[in-house]
Structure 1
């Protein structure tokens, strides 16, 4: 039986295919470089290599577009019919639950796999991704922390573990430890986009905008070439420039590495919409950027992810697409009656947030503030990070101010200041 460098069995793999798979997996850990070519070569060599099919599914079923997700569905279908051990069967079962829209069940299965096999770095990575989709901050940390006793710095892929740990620590408010782990990850592997991103999250949450620009653009630039997470990391960089009041720099990044090519990948569109909406709150004219982004959102199905739908609503409102905003709300209404976890995500967070954004666009600021205020304690339930969901807090504060509710605006700003420093540009705008 072929094994990886942690001693985990890899059913159906030749030694050559196992090496190729390991290259693909390590690039996937870093979200950097070409993961598909070595994975394709591994499957060409060993068509019955079940974990190679599982990796392909994990890489293509989350946050992609319809065309790429179809590749993941085919990989999963192939994997189902192959011989596999219990660990590998756990990956396939979790992918089945994910495809069925049962994200919580998929996350539980990956927790079980990680407990039995704490050196399965892929299980830890995709498990944390599922926690992210659920907005489960404690899961983001606890999943990795539970595996740490089985790890040591001399093991391969220690940099990946530190990057995962850093993000979990940041989302649970342990900023100093998070930054240390993220910097260690990047020191060991400078191309590790996830570790780079975790440190950026710390700096966003602490309002360290100048430090953030230095970190992303000068201290370590190895993450930038061939970055699979490039759009998101450039989004963080743009937020730091916004925090310094440098709106031109933020727009330059948007037109360049962030969204210059106009991706239809779900999370790329999310980042693009979130940046343009922040600029919209400042009164910055984003011009035709809204229309191009709205076109891309319109090409993909709606009603499947409350988190993505909220950002689609930003794009449709920004572009003045009344027909699309109505269709999106109808898709969310249908999702409320649908299967899987998304029905609950829409009910608790997605629908009130979408309605609030539409009301804000219509100038009904009092309604926007009421909707977001009522749902505020539930907004984490549709996924994302604290930094990503912050756009809704900013919208709530802006809505309260524009509605003339000075008491609410003052209270919200004071409350928020205890969690995330309000950037100078936001204070000036509000």
Structure 2
């Protein structure tokens, strides 16, 4: 009898031990849980020729920016699946390998073709989903809508699956359907409590609907069950720090930074390490709270090692935060030059918004608020092309609001805050609005 994955798809291994470890390892990956690497390695130890286990392990290496190891395992999986694999498995390996290699347009095309044929191949379906998925980092202006529509197309294939409900609900939330999205995500969370992606998605819904105290309680109640080495541990606490800032509690936000986000404390993947740290310190400073320069310098040194060259626009924007905050003009000029070159060569799908935001952040740090406003105003509607979540991208709009206030353009600041408060409750925006009269 053929062995299958949890979604009923045949897998080419004759080892029940390998199949069991693979099923468990994929579930751990889809839940963002610790033990994923060790479990997948048990699968490859039980069957060294099991291509799907190798490509899953390669994907995990990719999360942690271990590029050489990821590509090596992807190459091995390609070799193995060519001689022992079904058509579905060959497509699965190739699609994940393209994503690992950073070949985004090809990976998106392969994903869509694969999902059309095998909608219940969850690991492939996961590629375009989430704030750091293929859609978000494609430069698309409508990636939030695209994720929801993709989930809607396959919803009948998954039913009450805990992983799918988590991602489907989050896609709704990011696309503006917050109430429904929260309900669907919470249903997935109840089906599997040991699911960091579900907690994360619920926190996004709570951010959007203004449930700051409930979000804080959720993290306090749930986080003791999640190891600090978990891929989302630091980021979930980052959300809690944003809640502290809603209350104007800079001391608590800085305490969370020191506990789990500071380079010497965090175990997060490189992209989360850089983006969570930079964005929290920038928000603290932009909101008028004191940030010790030593924190910026330490975090910048780590970030420069991890992202020395222009790469993902989302990473580049956060590297610009570091360069602006530390007044490292040489680093900013070098990165902007590389970004402009990629734009000129047609290799920057996110487009002109990337250099424009980088320059605006530098102007803000130089306290040239009028210039910051002038640079950001034309591209605010394009910020979505940078990727990430709405909560993460709101940093750019917050910078714009503060620049408006500090440059004396109170009518525009009031209008923008009124629009934001109409969209969702915010203690911080309410305070800002009240201060302007």
Partner of 2:418: 414
- Residue number among 154, 159, 164 corresponding to 2:162 in the alignment: 159
Change (3 A) 1:74 1:243: same
- SS where residue 135 of structure 2 aligns? helix
- Residue number among 361, 364, 367 corresponding to 1:363 in the alignment: 367
> Shift of residue 338 of structure 1?
5.0
Contact in 1 for aligned 2:228/2:234 (Cα 8 Å): no
> Shift of residue 199 of structure 1?
1.0
Alignment size in residue pairs: 420
Contact in 2 for aligned 1:297/1:312 (Cα 8 Å): yes
1:137 aligns with 2:141: no
- SS where residue 292 of structure 1 aligns? helix
Partner of 2:288: 283
The C-alpha deviation readout for 1:357-413, integer Å capped at 9, x for no partner, is: 011111221121122111111111121111110000000111112222223222222
> Shift of residue 224 of structure 1?
5.4
Contact in 2 for aligned 1:230/1:258 (Cα 8 Å): no
Partner of 1:388: 392
- SS where residue 418 of structure 1 aligns? helix
Contact in 2 for aligned 1:303/1:335 (Cα 8 Å): no
Q: What TM-score, normalized to structure 1?
A: 0.91
> Shift of residue 36 of structure 1?
0.6
- Residue number among 186, 190, 193 corresponding to 1:187 in the alignment: 190
Output the CA distance in 2 between the equivalents of 1:81 and 1:330: 39
- Residue number among 304, 316, 332 corresponding to 1:325 in the alignment: 332
> Shift of residue 94 of structure 1?
2.7
> Shift of residue 119 of structure 1?
1.9
RMSD of aligned alpha carbons: 2.2
Output the CA distance in 2 between the equivalents of 1:209 and 1:281: 20
Change (3 A) 1:248 1:77: same
- Residue number among 70, 74, 92 corresponding to 2:68 in the alignment: 70
The C-alpha deviation readout for 1:260-318, integer Å capped at 9, x for no partner, is: 52556112210111111110102222211111111111112321111111011112222
- Residue number among 195, 203, 226 corresponding to 2:206 in the alignment: 203
Contact in 1 for aligned 2:111/2:124 (Cα 8 Å): yes
Contact in 2 for aligned 1:127/1:143 (Cα 8 Å): no
Partner of 2:343: 336
Partner of 1:267: 272
Change (3 A) 1:294 1:225: closer
Please list every run of 5 or more consecutive structure 2 residues that lacks an aligned counterpart in the other structure: none
Moved more, 205-214 or 123-132: 123-132
Change (3 A) 1:197 1:220: same
Change (3 A) 1:37 1:394: same
Partner of 1:93: 94
> Shift of residue 120 of structure 1?
1.4
The C-alpha deviation readout for 1:22-81, integer Å capped at 9, x for no partner, is: 11111111101111111112122222211112212222324x33xx12221111121222
Change (3 A) 1:4 1:315: same
Please list every run of 5 or more consecutive structure 1 residues that lacks an aligned counterpart in the other structure: none
Contact in 1 for aligned 2:336/2:355 (Cα 8 Å): yes
Partner of 2:215: 212
- Residue number among 245, 248, 254 corresponding to 1:245 in the alignment: 248
- SS where residue 133 of structure 1 aligns? helix
Contact in 1 for aligned 2:166/2:201 (Cα 8 Å): yes
Partner of 2:30: 29
Partner of 2:232: 229
Partner of 2:77: 79
- SS where residue 119 of structure 2 aligns? coil
- SS where residue 127 of structure 2 aligns? helix
Change (3 A) 1:420 1:313: farther
Partner of 1:350: 354
Output the CA distance in 2 between the equivalents of 1:370 and 1:271: 27
1:171 aligns with 2:174: yes
Output the CA distance in 1 between the equivalents of 2:344 and 2:93: 27
- SS where residue 191 of structure 1 aligns? coil
Output the CA distance in 2 between the equivalents of 1:32 and 1:264: 13
> Shift of residue 193 of structure 1?
0.8
Q: What TM-score, normalized to structure 2?
A: 0.89
Change (3 A) 1:338 1:58: farther
